Amino acid sequence: AGFTTPIGLFELDVIPFGMKKSPAEFQRAMDSCFAVEANAVCYIDDIVICGQDFDSVVQRVKLQCMNTGFYLRLGRSEWFKDEVKSLGHVIGQTGIKVQASTSWRQS
């Protein structure tokens, strides 16, 4: 998104709140960024990459982010987990487990 003022043209560097298409556009950008990675799955700002070698995974993520202009907040990142929770599933070496929701009210 961009806009023009009397002092010039301005373009946003980040997605502002309130734009209806923002999540879809960001998802499309993430899919495009990591399309070359066969073992990568992205959902909005969550990236799951599987691999056997820690160094190669880190280098692949850094390279893809640098090539596309994305940046990572290392303080909010989790690396080298045996299991990850994503979209109500626990994904690990033994496969995918669906978490049962115990907080749903039954009627």
List, for residues 38-50, the tens digit of each pLDDT value.
788 888 888 888 7
pTM of the model: 0.58
Asked if the structure places residue 43 within a domain, the reply is: yes
Instruction: Give the pLDDT of residue 86.
Output: 78
The answer to whether the CB of 74 falls within 8 A of the CB of 85 is: no
Asked if the structure places residue 102 within a domain, the reply is: no
Q: How many domains does the chain have?
A: 1
Q: Which residues is 16 bridged to in the sheet?
A: none
Crossing angle for the helix pair 22-33 and 54-68, to the nearest 10 degrees: 130
C-alpha span between 54 and 51 (Å, rounded): 7
Instruction: Give the pLDDT of residue 7.
Output: 92
pLDDT tens, 2-56? 789 999 998 877 766 666 777 888 888 888 888 887 788 888 888 888 777 888 8
pLDDT tens, 77-89? 888 888 888 777 8
Encoded amino acid at 39, one letter: N
Asked if the structure places residue 12 within a domain, the reply is: yes
